[in-house]
Structure formats: structure tokens, C-alpha cells
């Protein structure tokens, strides 16, 4: 998500709304300044033919859909492992607890990867990151589809998570590169929801596969999907990062004219990849240590993702052990969460209008706290959904009860992430990339750990007690968007990272 952070009304799942925020805010003005200098005729200029925003509408949407489906595939791979654990433990001679690491290690890779991939995209462009990461994602998934032993399988699950993380850190920037501020909301919404729909689709598909054939086919189907996405990325997604587009243009002009004086601004800037990566790693942790507001919002969003991934262990207990579902029907039970997310996405036009009215009220510069209004709705819906789930998991209650409860939970997840992501990007604009990286790292750590204790918690506390405990935790966090909406400006004024 990215492009002028004040105009983005959606979230960026990810971590690149971040980067483009910095790009649009710092590099674009730099380009403009240099391009205003008529004294240097060899400085390459961005012309309409080079501008990604001037592509045809169908081409831009084709690129957005290719990027979004690639992001969906990357997160699908995390949860598709949820129904393979029994077969994995049996065939590779390990325990069920070790098999759960197939989810945890992959998600950990998704969280760590953006810290390294983000700086690379600023130097080399978006396309080379997409293509390289997806080729590696495809190639390194083969050992998980045909694993010789559990150690090899788990190692490559972590590595493929790293490879897939590019679409949680760079892709949002491509969307904002393609559309101007007035039209970015809808395509950004499509991209934003894709990483959260992926984990819901994973068990749905893997449940049918495991029910009817060998568990390895979950990864073989993933390979087929990855191959198709790789072709789409090579054929349908153009380079969208303007500094790199100008760099390529300068190279072509030097070659065609024989004049080595042509140059792009990016070629005259001094870059240290090591320093960029180091900054990308330590700044997010500085933010978590020294900024309590960022820490609280990150813990809140991390708790939600942890609960979502915990559901991959909890739903089989609720629906298979309590209600007697088979594997494929248990996979279908995740449809409630997905339906809630899609329903929440459909409300985006209302929120876009609300934010436009707030912008007008504040002369075009609304405070970042305006973004938390949508999070307030999510803060109420998520615990309500979990409480409904908790008290409908009794065996004598119809199985549709927990699924109905998961619908408001899914909607709440979407609203909360939309509010938190856009708030972080706008409130911490100077270090937006680091703010999103900190959020991603904490979310992934919770998502990696929660599935490991889910089984023990649900068997010890029961389905009602365990789910009610989770609902209680989300209830404790629900006041955050209301509190920060009131006092966020004061906290930002005291923060060493946030804009005043």
C-alpha cells in the first residue's frame, strides 16, 4: 500500500505501502527537483510513455490481479499444511507436534523476509524481486512435495516462506505505482485482502485433497499453482518503480546513442545495501522498544493473526472431535471466516466516502487517528464473533453455530488490519517501511507460536473455555482504537518516531 500515505484508505498488508510512502514522499520530490534543472540535458526524464500510471486500465488491473493472486498463493501455502500433519507424522516418522512446525516455520519465514526484500526492491526494482522470489518459491517447494526426511521438509518450509514474503512487503507498492491517489482505493482493497483470504482457502482445498488422496498432493497442487503464477508475473506485470524505470531508460539511451553521459537520478545516488538492510532490521525493533503506541497496535494485530492460525488446530478439534466432521467438511468450516472478510471488503466504498469527508473537514490533511475509526468497528466485531463461537461449540448445539460466529470474527480481522496498517503508515510516515516491518515480524511470531499450544489448550480447557479465553483477550485489546483515537495526537507529539 503506499503512494501518498494520506490518501490510502485501505491497508497495505503489508509492508510496502510503507516503502512507497517513503518513495513517493522522498524520492519523487528528489526526481522532480533534479528534473527541473534545465542545465543538465542528460538527466533522463519520466515521460507518459514510461509512466506506469499511464498504462491502459485493463493492463493495470491485470497486473494487480496477478500480484494479488501471487500473494494469495504465498499465504495459501502456509495453511495448506494444516491437514497434512497426520500423514506427515506417519510417513516421515515424527510426532504431531513436530509436524505442526510445517506451519510455524513457514510463517516465520514470511515475517522475517520483508526486512531483507524491501531494501533490495528500492535498488533493483519490483519486477526482479517478484520474478526471482517466485522462481525460487517454485523451485524450493519441490523438496516439500517429495521430502526424504522431516529435517529436509521443515528446512525448506522455512526457506519457501522467506521466498514468498516478497508479496507481503513489495507488492503493495506496485499497486500504488499503477494508480493515482484518487483511484488507488479499490485495487488496493483487492490486493489487501488477498494475503488474509489465502490462509482461509488453504485448509478448504487441502481438506478435500487429504480426504481423497495422499497428503503430498497438497504440495504438488501448490507447485502447479506456483508455476502458473510465475508465468503471469513474467508476462503480465511490468516494472512500476519509477527510479528503476528511469535507470533502465538511461541505460537504453546510452546504448542507442553511444553517449555515456545520459543518467538517471538513482545512478547518481550513493547506496550501501548493507546499511539499508541493517537499517531495515534494527529500526523496527527500536520502534517496538521505544514507542508504546506502535507496540500496543502491533500486539493487537499479532494476537488476531495468532488466533487465525491457531484455528487451523482448533477447528479440527471443534468440528471433527465434537461434531464428527470428516477432513473435507472441516476444511469447509473455514468458509465463515472468509465470508466475513469478503463482506467487510464490500463495505469499503462507505469507508472511502467517510475518509473523504474527514479529509474535507480537515482541509485535506486529516489526522492519522481518523484511520482508526474502521478499527473501532473491528475491535467490537472480533470478540463478539469469538464469544459466539465459544458458546456454540457444545455438542448439543448445531454445528452451524460456530461457523456463524466466525463470520463477524473474519470481518473484524479485516477492519482491524485496515485500520492498524493505514494508521501505522500515516502516523509513522518517515519510517513507514520500518513500522510495517515491525508489525509483520510481531504478527508472524504470534502466528508461528499459537498453533504449537492450540491442541493442549483446547484439550485442557475444552472448546468453550479455550475459545472464550481467546475472546477475552481480544476484548481486552478492543479499547485500543478508541483510546488512541482520543489521545493519539498527544502520544505522537511525544514520540521520537511518529509525525507530530
Please answer whether residues 71 and 198 qualify as being in contact, where contact means their C-beta atoms are separated by less than 8 angstroms: yes
For 320, phi then psi, to 5°, come to -85, -50
Does residue 101 carry a pLDDT above 70?
A: yes
Distance CA 76, CA 72 (A): 6
pLDDT of 121-180, one tens digit each?
777 888 888 899 999 999 999 999 999 999 999 999 999 999 998 887 777 778 878 887
- Closest by CA position to 175, among listed 55, 256, 75: 55
Q: At what angle do helices 57-79 and 171-178 cross, to 10 degrees?
A: 160
- Closest by CA position to 165, among listed 15, 274, 317: 15
Does residue 496 carry a pLDDT above 70?
A: yes
- The stretch 268-291 carries a mean pLDDT of 79
**Which of 13-17, 130-134, 251-255 is the least confident region?**
13-17
For 486, phi then psi, to 5°, come to -85, -45
Please answer whether residues 164 and 140 qualify as being in contact, where contact means their C-beta atoms are separated by less than 8 angstroms: no
Cα angle value 232/280/367 (rounded, 5°): 90
For 263, phi then psi, to 5°, come to -150, 160
- How many C-beta neighbours within 10 Å does residue 124 have? 15
Residues contacting residue 211 through CB under 8 Å, at least 6 positions apart: 326, 327, 328
Distance CA 349, CA 483 (A): 26
224 CB burial (10 A radius; 0-12, 13-18, 19+):
exposed
For 43, phi then psi, to 5°, come to -75, 120
pLDDT of 391-443, one tens digit each?
999 989 999 999 999 999 999 999 999 888 888 878 887 777 778 888 888 88
**What does the mean pLDDT of the chain come to?**
85
Q: At what angle do helices 432-477 and 400-427 cross, to 10 degrees?
A: 140
Please answer whether residues 52 and 238 qualify as being in contact, where contact means their C-beta atoms are separated by less than 8 angstroms: yes
Residue 490 CA: distances (Å) to CA of 293, 365, 494: 11, 17, 7
Distance CA 30, CA 408 (A): 45
pLDDT of 193-226, one tens digit each?
888 899 999 999 999 999 999 999 999 999 999 9
Q: At what angle do helices 432-477 and 292-315 cross, to 10 degrees?
A: 60
**Per-residue confidence (pLDDT) for residue 39, from 0 to 100:** 56
CA pseudo-torsion sign 226, 109, 199, 9? negative
- How many C-beta neighbours within 10 Å does residue 493 have? 10
**Per-residue confidence (pLDDT) for residue 126, from 0 to 100:** 85
Residue 469 CA: distances (Å) to CA of 185, 390, 447, 490: 36, 9, 17, 33
Q: What pTM did the predictor assign? A: 0.84
Residues contacting residue 132 through CB under 8 Å, at least 6 positions apart: none
**Which of 25-39, 162-176, 351-365 is the least confident region?**
25-39
CA 227, chain centre distance (Å): 21
- Closest by CA position to 284, among listed 440, 118, 161: 440
Amino acid at each position: 500500500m503506499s503512494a501518498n500515505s494520506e490518501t490510502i484508505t485501505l491497508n497495505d498488508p503489508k509492508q510496502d505501502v510503507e516503502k512507497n510512502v517513503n518513495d513517493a514522499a522522498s524520492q519523487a520530490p528528489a526526481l522532480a527537483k533534479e528534473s527541473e534543472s534545465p542545465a543538465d540535458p542528460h538527466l533522463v526524464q519520466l515521460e507518459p510513455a514510461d509512466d506506469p500510471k499511464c498504462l491502459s486500465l485493463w493492463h493495470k488491473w491485470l497486473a494487480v490481479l496477478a500480484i494479488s493472486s501471487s500473494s494469495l498463493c504465498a499465504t495459501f501455502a502456509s495453511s495448506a499444511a494444516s491437514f497434512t500433519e497426520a500423514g506427515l507424522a506417519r510417513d516421515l516418522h515424527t510426532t504431531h507436534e513436530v509436524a505442526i512446525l510445517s506451519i510455524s516455520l513457514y510463517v516465520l519465514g514470511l515475517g522475517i523476509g520483508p526486512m531483507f526484500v524491501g531494501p533490495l526492491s528500492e535498488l533493483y526494482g519490483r519486477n526482479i524481486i517478484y520474478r526471482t522470489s517466485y522462481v525460487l518459491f517454485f523451485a524450493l517447494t519441490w523438496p516439500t512435495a517429495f521430502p526424504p526426511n522431516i529435517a529436509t521438509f521443515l528446512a525448506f518450509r522455512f526457506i519457501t516462506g522467506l521466498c514468498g514474503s516478497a508479496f507481503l512487503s513489495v507488492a503493495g507498492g506496485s499497486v500504488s505505482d499503477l494508480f493515482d491517489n484518487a483511484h488507488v482505493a479499490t485495487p488496493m482493497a483487492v490486493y489487501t485482502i488477498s494475503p488474509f483470504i489465502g490462509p482461509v482457502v488453504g485448509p478448504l482445498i487441502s481438506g478435500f485433497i487429504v480426504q481423497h488422496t495422499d497428503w503430498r498432493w497438497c504440495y504438488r497442487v501448490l507447485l502447479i499453482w506456483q508455476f502458473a503464477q510465475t508465468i503471469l508475473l513474467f508476462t503480465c506485470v511490468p516494472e512500476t518503480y519509477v527510479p528503476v524505470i528511469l535507470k533502465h531508460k538511461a541505460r537504453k539511451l546510452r546504448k542507442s546513442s553511444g553517449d555515456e553521459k545520459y543518467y538517471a537520478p538513482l545512478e547518481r545516488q550513493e547506496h550501501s545495501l548493507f546499511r539499508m538492510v541493517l537499517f531495515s532490521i534494527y529500526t523496527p525493533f527500536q520502534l517496538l522498544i521505544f514507542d508504546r503506541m506502535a507496540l500496543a497496535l502491533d500486539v493487537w494485530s499479532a494476537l488476531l493473526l495468532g488466533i487465525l492460525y491457531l484455528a487451523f488446530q482448533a477447528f479440527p478439534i471443534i468440528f471433527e472431535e465434537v461434531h464428527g466432521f470428516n477432513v473435507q467438511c472441516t476444511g469447509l468450516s473455514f468458509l465463515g471466516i472468509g465470508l466475513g472478510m469478503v463482506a467487510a471488503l464490500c463495505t469499503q466504498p462507505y469507508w472511502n466516502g467517510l475518509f473523504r469527508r474527514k479529509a474535507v473537514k480537515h482541509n485535506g490533511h486529516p489526522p492519522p487517528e481518523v484511520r482508526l475509526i474502521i478499527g473501532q468497528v473491528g475491535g467490537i466485531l472480533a470478540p463478539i464473533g469469538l464469544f459466539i463461537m465459544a458458546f456454540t461449540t457444545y455438542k448439543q448445539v448445531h454445528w452451524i453455530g460456530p461457523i456463524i460466529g466466525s463470520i463477524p470474527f473474519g470481518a473484524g480481522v479485516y477492519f482491524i488490519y485496515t485500520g492498524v496498517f493505514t494508521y501505522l503508515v500515516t502516523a509513522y510516515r518517515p519510517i513507514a517501511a520500518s513500522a510495517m516491518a515491525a508489525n509483520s515480524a510481531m504478527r508472524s511470531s504470534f502466528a508461528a507460536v499459537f498453533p504449537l499450544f492450540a491442541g493442549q489448550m483446547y484439550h485442557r480447557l475444552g472448546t468453550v473455555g479455550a475459545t472464550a479465553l481467546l475472546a477475552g483477550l481480544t476484548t481486552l485489546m478492543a479499547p485500543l482504537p478508541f483510546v488512541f483515537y482520543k489521545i493519539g495526537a498527544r502520544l505522537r507529539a511525544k514520540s521520537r518516531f511518529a509525525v507530530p
